[in-house]
């Protein structure tokens, strides 16, 4: 019986694209580089901010060296933490779905390749009353698609609720190929959402088995 839901954050629960794109463009501009289009930012999302920034810099300046990329990354980190909620908001239907999950007594967690301070800020601002814990990128936990964040979320949920939570009772929900790989590496079933940063065809080509098109559909599956 499913009693635990582990969610990706960007593109699954929150539409963070505008703030991420603005932060990427700010960091590029500060370094005197051309800007990327929003669709480029969308394509580069999913593997953490280092890859987001490095791919963005490579896209506009293929000859950029590591020093320049690191400088842009540092600028992005500082700016994004301060501007991560300028336009970010939950996707339509997310909050009602999460509150329904809470009423059913389900355990819930967020695992994200976003920086841990930003993840915790967003969790507290949007989901403090309906999602139990949130874990972001840190130096001590390997980021997705490694299973470490998922395993850590189950460990923390078990401690928080003083009960043993099993992977066999858990489902992973995400919007990208990274999430599909994370679920596979964690030996969890994966539900892929189509309202995020990847379209249905791409998800199917990436190995998606179960798709939902609106948050309310999740309630019927569990």
CATH class of 4-15+89-221: alpha beta
pLDDT tens readout for residues 95-120:
999 999 999 999 999 999 988 888 99
Give the integer Cα–Cα distance in Å for 102 and 129: 9
**Number of neighbouring beta carbons within 10 Å of residue 97:** 20
Note the pLDDT of residue 114.
86
- Enter the pTM of the model: 0.91
Note the pLDDT of residue 48.
84
Residue 180 near residue 201 (C-beta atoms within 8 A): no
Which two tokens mark 102?
């809470």
Residue 173 φ then ψ, to 5°: -125, 125
In Å, how far are 11, 41, 217 from 46, measured between CA atoms? Answer: 9, 10, 23
Below-70 pLDDT ranges, the chain: none
Which two tokens mark 187?
């030996």
Domain ranges of the chain: 4-15+89-221, 17-83
Tell the CATH superfamily of the 17-83 domain.
Putative phosphatase; domain 2 (1.10.150.240)
């Amino acid at each position: 019986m499913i009693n635990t839901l582990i969610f990706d954050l960007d593109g699954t629960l929150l539409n963070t694209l505008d703030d991420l794109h603005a932060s990427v463009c700010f960091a590029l501009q500060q370094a005197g580089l051309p800007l990327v289009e929003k669709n480029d930012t969308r394509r580069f999302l999913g593997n953490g901010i280092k890859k987001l920034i490095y791919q963005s810099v490579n896209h506009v300046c293929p000859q950029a060296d590591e020093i320049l990329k690191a400088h842009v990354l540092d600028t992005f980190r500082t700016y994004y933490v301060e501007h991560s909620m300028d336009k970010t908001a939950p996707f339509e239907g997310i909050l009602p779905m999460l509150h329904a999950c809470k009423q059913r007594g389900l355990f819930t967690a967020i695992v994200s390749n976003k920086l841990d301070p930003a993840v915790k800020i967003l969790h507290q601002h949007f989901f403090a009353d309906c999602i139990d814990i949130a874990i972001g990128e840190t130096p001590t936990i390997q980021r997705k698609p490694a299973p470490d964040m998922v395993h850590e979320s189950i460990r923390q949920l078990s401690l928080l609720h003083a009960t043993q939570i099993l992977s066999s009772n858990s489902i992973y929900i995400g919007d990208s190929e990274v999430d599909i790989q994370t679920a596979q590496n964690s030996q969890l079933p994966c539900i892929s959402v189509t309202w995020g940063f990847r379209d249905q065809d791409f998800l199917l080509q990436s190995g998606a088995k179960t798709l939902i098109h609106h948050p309310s559909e999740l309630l019927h599956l569990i």
